[in-house]
């Protein structure tokens, strides 16, 4: 009797609460799995478009019109406050600004990770509302390289091909053996091989050093690789998809200067061939110098922008003078200067510790003037030496002059002669 009571007590008092605690996490997991996405199509809705069949010369033309947005978990704080911008197809567009200005939120909305509320603006892609496209097809043509790289336990090859279907891998010859691939490569474009994409992402140099090369296992999260190597593999994974839009969020944060420059040049080369759109964010402003368009965001809207056709957006914005306006801080009551023009120029100066000449006193201005005069003198001397060297080289490269030729008269009675110049 007492044994039966003890068993009942064990089940009711000790085991049942423990079992309940064990089942609670499983219940939450199943709730997440069964939750229906708010952007999925409902029965009876019009058929959505396939984004891959509605590209504009291989890219995406994106228009953000007067968008106001707040995250669902913090609806009282608007991150975007009437944001409007145009991202032309096939161009390189840079977003910059201070932290919290809405750069990453803009990228999230382009990928449709969130939807804009009705009446709070709109986003159009290639002339149609973003809601008109099937979300999976939209995300399939967009490649993202983030500052924090996500790599998986497996080989380098598996990580690079992650996101490409087995059928597409077979069509492009990525999952063939060496002997099979040699025959395949002889009949297909050499610019669509794994080696080619690795070289364009500047990761083939270290991959070729590994004994197993692309079959090298990198461990969970890529623990066997450095930060720069991880970013190069992530760039390769993004490019090999041949996307319609390439989103770069601090994509060269772990790369050295020469590698960053080479990667940027290679991306520009591939962009000219495929026509995809590039949207990039970087706090290292020197990485934005290849941009056609640049938007400087402040408090969720565009404070300054420029659009060019020759990748000179940063150069032209640096020519914009910085204009300040004095105002009173509502919280502290103190007077402060606020930038009303030349936002990008001021940020550039701050990043590179360049002091604004308008804020320098006379002594500092005279010192700066002397330094610039000395620098100008060095440049002039070097230019004179260079021109002299080039002129001397041209003289030495000229063929020697022909000696004068003597011509004698056929008249025997005449003893005169003449000299013909060459």
Q: Mind listing the pLDDT tens digit for each residue in 171-197?
A: 888 877 666 766 666 666 667 788 889
Establish whether domains 47-141+278-317 and 142-242 are of one fold. yes
Instruction: Annotate 258-304 with DSSP letters as a single string.
Output: HHHHHHHHHHHHHHHHH--EEEEE-SSGGGGTT-SEEEEEETTEEEE
- Show me where the domains of the chain are located: 47-141+278-317, 142-242, 321-359, 361-391
Counting beta carbons within 10 angstroms of the beta carbon of residue 46, is it exposed (0 to 12), middle (13 to 18) or buried (19 or more)? exposed
Q: How far apart are CA 106 and CA 301, in angstroms?
A: 10
Instruction: Give pLDDT tens digits for 142-170.
Output: 999 988 888 888 899 999 998 888 888 88
Tokens matching residue 239? 């490019």
- Taking the model in full, what pTM does it have? 0.78
Cα dihedral 246, 310, 287, 378, rounded to 10, equals: 170
CATH topology assigned to domain 47-141+278-317? Rossmann fold (3.40.50)
Listed in sequence order, the DSSP H helices in 132-225 are 135-140, 156-160, 166-172, 178-185, 194-200, 204-207
Under 8 Å between Cβ of 306 and 292: no
Please count the other Cβ atoms lying within 10 Å of the Cβ belonging to residue 197. Answer: 24
Per-residue pLDDT at 2 exceeds 60: no
pLDDT of residue 11: 58
DSSP 3-state of 15: helix
CATH topology assigned to domain 142-242? Rossmann fold (3.40.50)
pLDDT of residue 46: 80
Give 401 or 258, the one with higher predicted confidence: 258
Give the lowest-confidence range in 20-34, 300-314, 406-420: 406-420
Under 8 Å between Cβ of 69 and 114: yes
Counting beta carbons within 10 angstroms of the beta carbon of residue 234, is it exposed (0 to 12), middle (13 to 18) or buried (19 or more)? buried
Under 8 Å between Cβ of 295 and 95: yes
- Segment 89-115 shows an average pLDDT of 91
What lies within 8 Å, CB to CB, of 288 at 6+ separation is 94, 96, 280, 282, 294, 313, 314
Under 8 Å between Cβ of 93 and 294: yes
């Amino acid at each position: 009797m007492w044994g039966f009571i003890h068993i009942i007590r064990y089940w009711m008092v000790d085991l049942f609460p423990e079992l309940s605690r064990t089942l609670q996490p499983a219940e939450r997991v199943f709730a997440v799995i069964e939750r229906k996405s708010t952007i999925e199509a409902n029965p009876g809705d019009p058929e959505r478009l396939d984004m891959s069949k509605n590209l504009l010369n291989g890219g995406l033309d994106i228009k953000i019109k007067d968008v106001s947005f707040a995250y669902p978990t913090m609806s009282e704080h608007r991150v975007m406050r009437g944001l409007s911008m145009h991202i032309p197809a096939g161009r390189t567009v840079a977003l910059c600004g201070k932290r919290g200005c809405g750069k990453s939120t803009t990228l999230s909305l382009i990928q449709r990770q969130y939807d804009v509320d009705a009446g709070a603006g709109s986003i159009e892609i290639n002339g149609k509302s973003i809601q008109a496209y099937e979300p999976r097809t939209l995300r399939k043509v967009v490649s993202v390289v983030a500052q924090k790289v996500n790599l998986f336990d497996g080989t380098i090859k598996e990580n690079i091909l992650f996101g490409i279907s087995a059928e597409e891998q077979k069509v492009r010859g990525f999952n063939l053996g060496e002997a099979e691939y040699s025959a395949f490569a002889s009949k297909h474009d050499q610019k669509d091989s794994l080696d080619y994409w690795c070289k364009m992402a500047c990761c083939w140099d270290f991959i070729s050093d590994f004994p197993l090369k692309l079959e090298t296992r990198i461990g969970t999260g890529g623990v066997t690789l450095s930060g720069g190597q991880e970013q190069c593999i992530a760039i390769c994974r993004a490019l090999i998809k041949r996307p319609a839009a390439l989103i770069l969020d601090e994509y060269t944060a772990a790369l050295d200067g020469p590698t960053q420059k080479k990667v940027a040049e290679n991306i520009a080369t591939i962009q000219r061939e495929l026509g995809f759109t590039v949207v990039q964010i970087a706090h290292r402003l020197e990485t934005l110098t290849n941009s056609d368009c640049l938007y400087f965001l402040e408090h969720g809207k565009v404070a300054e922008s420029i659009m060019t056709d020759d990748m000179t957006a940063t150069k032209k914005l640096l020519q914009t003078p910085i204009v300040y306006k004095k105002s009173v801080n509502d919280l502290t009551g103190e007077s402060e200067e606020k930038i009303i023009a030349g936002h990008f120029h001021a940020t550039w100066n701050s990043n590179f510790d360049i002091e604004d000449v308008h804020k320098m006193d006379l002594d500092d201005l005279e010192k700066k003037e002397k330094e610039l005069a000395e620098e100008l003198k060095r440049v002039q001397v070097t230019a004179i030496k260079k021109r002299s060297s080039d002129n001397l080289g041209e003289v030495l490269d000229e063929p020697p002059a022909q000696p004068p030729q003597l011509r004698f008269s056929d008249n025997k009675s005449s003893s005169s002669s003449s000299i013909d110049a060459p």
